[in-house]
Structure 1
Amino acid sequence: MQDHAIERTNETSSRTPSSGKPLSETTVLVSGAGRGLGAAIARAFAREGARVAINYRRSETEARALAAELGPRCAAFRADVADPQAVAAMTDAIAERLGPPDVLVHNALADFAFNGDARKRLETLAWADIAAQVQTAVGGGLALVKALRPHFAASGYGRIVTIGTNLVQNPVVPYHDYTAAKAALLAFTRTAAKELGPLGVTVNMVSGGLLRVTDASAATPEAVFDIIASQTPLGRVTTPEELADAVLFFASPWARAVTGQNLVVDGGLVFG
């Protein structure tokens, strides 16, 4: 037993940690990238020269227009990320067209509108409301990770970035279903980081606040944006483009020793 333990230790210590890849040499899969924040993330990676797979579920027109805008190193792929078979077929298509994804950004969101006046209160909230959000956030994340894990294992390298929310730390508006799903996704991010680390894969989360403006935040009254801005040290509401730049960090070689972390990008509204 002791000899085997020594052999395993020597084998592990002989491996050279991956320093990461330049973004220009990566293939990136962004779920829910047809519009809003996902589109901003796709543009950010394309700007850095990455090959970008733009996943969409219903926003085909927007996704294909974005792919055309970003050029021949980008393409649109349809799949409901909550459907493991569709995800597996999509990742095969991406590998054939752009190469196996090195980077996964799980941004896909079940249908949701940030309107505090119209949100469901506890007296009307049903488990089905929470389950629908969890199915896309965590179920989608699981399907994507399982589809990409064989490539990560074969290459000894991978980067996964999930998209969360600062409402987990500061539920200023109690969107029960959405926030519960994102909290579960944070837990999944950290447990996945623990299991995938030996494969050379880092898993981190970037959590935004209210963004000006995405389709999901289009229903938010202007007065709410003003209140958020007034309470933020930077004096303004974060944009999708600013949050996208933080995602680039976790996918870059600069973050090669960072995993299992949650970076809140909201202009300092929430500390810690």
Structure 2
Amino acid sequence: MDTFRKFALNIAVFISFFSGLNAQQTYFEGVYSEKKIIINNPLSADLFGTCIHRITINGEIYPFNISDNYLEVDLSLLSIRKGELFSMTIDHESGCVPIIYNKNDFKFKEGVKFISLKADGNKLSWQSQSEVLLSSLLLELKFRDKWVKIAEISSNGMGNQNYEYIVPFLLSGKNQFRISKSNTKQYYYFPVIDMTEQHYKIASNSVTKHINIIKNNKPAVTCYELKDLHGVIVKKGIDGTIDVSNLKNGFYKLYFDTKEEVIIKK
């Protein structure tokens, strides 16, 4: 590699001598797929010499023969590994445009596989394999036979990654969590967490502005659904304080944790 970089430096000095003031740049980014980048290096606009002056990849100059019209760029020579992002800058004369023939071979394709999903108390952990992600991860909990979003977790981006997440609350009984890439429906499920009675309750059944959920006489957060007498959901979410100030006076039924309570809104 030292010999390679020394050669690259010598080539760079040689190229910079011939680079004119009218030089332009072409940029290309992608994910290395172990294939070579195939570039057409056309004649310059004045037909004296070729178009490309210099190729820089991730800040390092890549050596090549400037008289060649057909270039094969091997990213492995710069210790770039499969699945890693790269950025390439091509310095060339104005009036001519280099062509990258196989751009699609390096297209950024999102994908991931999750393994080793574990649940230890309220701590969830998992690993990703061959992760190539821009979007976030979606963590959901099953509540009243429906999946509820608990959190959006930023992805680590590339390669094999380790994740941990501390769940802010658990339900009484069985807790089923699943993780997915936020824009897909491919789900990975954690082992069920079986919890004893969590002793959630509400501070008062008669309210004017807020329903307050407590646990061990302290404010507590959990999943909830609030329905009117017709069974229509008027409020739902994850919280410990439910604002009902905009609801009509009357009777409602609150479902939270594994419990249900009648609420009188005054």
- Tell me if both proteins adopt one fold, taking TM over 0.5 as the criterion: no
Bigger share in strand: 2
Structure of greater Rg: 2
Report the TM-score range of the alignment, normalised by the length of the smaller protein: under 0.3
Bigger share in helix: 1
State the TM-score, normalizing by the size of structure 2.
Answer: 0.19
Structure with greater contact order relative to length (CA < 8 Å, sep ≥ 6): 1
